[in-house]
Amino acid sequence: MLRSIQACRGFAALLVLLFHLNTAVFDRPKYFAVQPFGPIFDFGHSGVEFFFVLSGFIILYAHRGDIGDLSAMSRYLSRRFQRIYPIYWVALAGLIPIYFLAPSFGVGHETDPVTVLSSIALVYINGDTVLAPAWTLYHEVLFYAAFAVLIWNRVAGIALFVAWALGIAVFQAVSPDAPAIARFLAAPLNLLFPVGILAALAYRSSIRLPAGTLAVTGAAMFLGCGAWEVIHGRSGIGTLLYGLGSAFLIVGAARLEAAGRIRIPDALEFLGAASYSIYLTHFPALSLFAKAAVAIGLQSAPGWLSFLLIGSATLALGCAFHAFVERPLLRWVRTLGTPSRPHPRGAA
């Protein structure tokens, strides 16, 4: 994996963490009821948009050679399963008992059997989740399924993605009073996966691209959209602008790295590697640390200090979860699919 792409994953995870820290902890009356840095991090939800573009880029980058090769299907499905489910199930297993033993920690749907089954399978049923940020994984798994069609048959896969994109555009233009499942399938966020695929094709192409200009333009577009949102509120085309900015930044950074013009520090690469663990653990960790802060009277401390302490503790816990749980678990899961070598026979 490109180190610049790993760094981008870390950046996206940090954005989402700051967004929830600012809106779900410090803006809540039961915790601090004040945002010490104002609404500056309220655009941090855009880390999800960044993640979706990254996902499209990474999948094509890793599986471009598998497109149209049915024999590669089992390897593709195995790798996608290993990347998403095992560590997610560990995080989920730690939460489900809490909601059953102390329902007040949730909002009510966490113990609903349909929600539990939907959360375990990561298949959209009613849209609710046990682990709050896991709603994005419903979209991720949907994208994996669509890309599997591309591996099965190139023409059918391309037709599916084109039809899907056109269907989303028509749905959003008409805005019918549709059931929730239709709104899920036609969510504008789903367009960001093919945007990431196109970004990976641009990176792989032989076309000479102004990498530095692309990266700066992408960063300016992304942060400019964020600044507009903080001042004026969300825009109807914000998802697309965040997605295009992400794509430009990703392609530019990857091309700069390939040309040896930038070097990604080890710390940023590690943060990117830990991004999934950070994403899975940050919301329950924020809730836990916020309750602990209130219990010990941290509300009387300067807001900026409490913000930094809770945010740093949450980030550290996510990194520790990656180092001591996710990585060993992934190594173990991968060995399950590796056939053991036969013992050599002794000499006659």
* Residue 138 contacts residue 115 (beta carbons within 8 Å): no
CB atoms within 10 A of CB 314: 26
Tens of pLDDT, residues 6-51: 999 999 999 999 999 999 999 999 899 999 999 999 999 999 999 9
Q: How far apart are CA 106 and CA 44, in angstroms?
A: 23
- So what's the pLDDT on residue 200? 97
Q: Which residue stretches of the chain are H helix? A: 3-20, 46-63, 73-101, 113-121, 135-152, 154-174, 180-185, 192-204, 211-232, 238-258, 266-273, 275-295, 303-321, 327-336
Tens of pLDDT, residues 132-189: 999 999 999 999 999 999 999 999 999 999 999 999 999 988 876 788 999 999 999 9
- So what's the pLDDT on residue 341? 47
- So what's the pLDDT on residue 321? 98
Output the pTM of the full model.
0.94
Of 276 and 175, the structure prediction assigns the larger pLDDT to 276
Max Cα-Cα span within the chain: 82
**Interhelix angle 266-273/275-295, nearest 10 degrees:** 80
**Stretch 1-5: mean pLDDT:** 90
- So what's the pLDDT on residue 337? 65
Q: How far apart are the first and last CA of the chain?
A: 47
In degrees rounded to 5, what are phi and psi of residue 155? -65, -45
Per-residue burial over 146-162, b = 16 or more CB atoms within 10 Å of its CB, e = otherwise? bbbebbbeeeebeebbe
* Structural tokens at position 258: 């390939």
Q: How far apart are CA 231 and CA 121, in angstroms?
A: 39
Q: Which of 250, 323, 321, 317 is nearest to 286 (CA)?
A: 317
CB atoms within 10 A of CB 121: 12
**Stretch 102-109: mean pLDDT:** 84
Of 209 and 272, the structure prediction assigns the larger pLDDT to 272
Of 336 and 324, the structure prediction assigns the larger pLDDT to 324
Residues above pLDDT 90, as percent of the chain? 88
Put residue 68 in one of left, alpha, beta given phi > 0 → left and psi -120 to 50 → alpha. left
CB atoms within 10 A of CB 38: 10
**Do you know the residue count of the chain?**
348
